[in-house]
Amino acid sequence: MNWESWQTFWAMGGYGLYVWGSFGMTLLCVAAEIGLLRRHRLQVWRRLRRMKTWDAQ
Amino acid sequence: MNLYHYASPSTFYPWAGKLIPWFAALALILAAAGLYIGFFVAPTDFQQGEGYRIIFIHVPAAWMSMFIYVVMAFWSAIGLAFNTRQSFVMARALAPTGAMFTFVALWTGALWGKPMWGAWWVWDARLTSELILLFLYVGVMALQAAIDDPRRADRAGALLNLVGVINVPVIYFSVKWWNTLHQGASVSLTRAPSMAQTMLWGMLIMALAAWMYTIAVALARARTLTLERERQSEWVRARLEGQP
């Protein structure tokens, strides 16, 4: 185990800003990609359904 | 095995839908294992202290940024050569994820460069060619978005994709061909890696997680694209009765 406490873990030996800035941005990018993907899928789904009901009328 | 069978959108769609949860689960498990090794098993670096732990994101992201571009170029080439629609869909589905990893590689590189080199950015060959890769991804996506006819958009994007693939070996060998501030490869196929075993394992597992994530996300995106493109077909109409 590398860390004596949570405090030393978050501090990352003085490199906290850089290490957490890197991991945080990666998490943000991944979450944003998944979120956008999901939203786009729902938008397409709804649009295609609407088009289908128009066709049926 | 008949490959054309899998190239058909109506086969691809349900098949991809079944695979996505598996790849997503693998990505999660591998990322958890990789992060555990990265933060709790891998030792402190004797030169860079704890700052080096950025490597567990930076190197996998940089690998993926190059690799995805090559895979994209592969699908573009197949699409142009055999005129298989689903190949273009795969190429398109990979582009945003590739751009995301390129951005992450550049971002984490900047945050690593500042404490170690004293600069967020330098115009050295490695960094500059990686930035060009980001522009290539954005260029391919913008070009495809700018052309209304999807088939022409596919072809134009595929062509730019193939021309741009020349940049990938330039990125990879830049640290050999030129004097760069960026260090050379720590991991290569021809010699033993120049880093601690646990660090190496953490990095490789994170790279594997990034792979699985890419497959899951690209398949999901390809499914939505397929749905849009095949909207006139019977099977999509039947699908729309169910849940998204």
Written as tens digits, the pLDDT of chain B (244 aa) is 566 666 789 899 999 999 999 999 999 999 999 999 999 998 888 888 899 999 999 999 999 999 999 999 999 999 999 988 899 999 999 999 999 999 999 999 999 999 999 999 999 999 999 999 999 999 999 999 999 999 999 999 999 999 999 999 999 999 888 888 888 777 765 666 667 788 899 999 999 999 999 999 999 999 999 999 998 898 998 888 877 7
The domain in which residue A38 lies consists of 6-56
* Nearest by CB: B244 against A14, A23, A42: A42
How would DSSP label each residue in B203-242?
A: HHHHHHHHHHHHHHHHHHHHHHHHHHHTTTSHHHHHHTTS
pLDDT for position A1: 55
* Confidence (pTM): 0.93
Whether B107 contacts chain A with CB within 8 A: yes
The reply to whether A51 falls in a domain is: yes
**Cα–Cα distance between B6 and A37 in angstroms, integer?**
23
Complex confidence, ipTM: 0.92
Contact B196, B24 (CB under 8 A): no
- Which chain A residues in 22-51 lie under 8 Å from chain B, judged by CB atoms? 22-23, 25-26, 29-30, 33-34, 37, 40-42, 44-45, 48-49, 51
B1 to chain A, closest Cα gap in Å: 31
Residue ranges of domains in chain B: 31-41+51-229
pLDDT for position A43: 95
Query: Which residue, B28, B69, B86, is CA-closest to B209?
Result: B28
Domains contained in chain A, number = 1
The reply to whether A1 falls in a domain is: no
The reply to whether A28 falls in a domain is: yes
pLDDT digits (tens, 9 = 90+) for B89-112: 999 999 999 999 999 999 999 999
Q: How much of chain A is in helix, strand and coil states, percent to nearest 5?
A: 90, 0, 10
Determine, for residues B114 and A19 on separate chains, whether the beta-carbon distance falls below 8 Å: no
pLDDT for position B46: 83
Query: Which residue, B129, B23, B14, B110, is CA-closest to B69?
Result: B129
Query: Nearest residue on chain A to B224, judged by CA atoms?
Result: A41
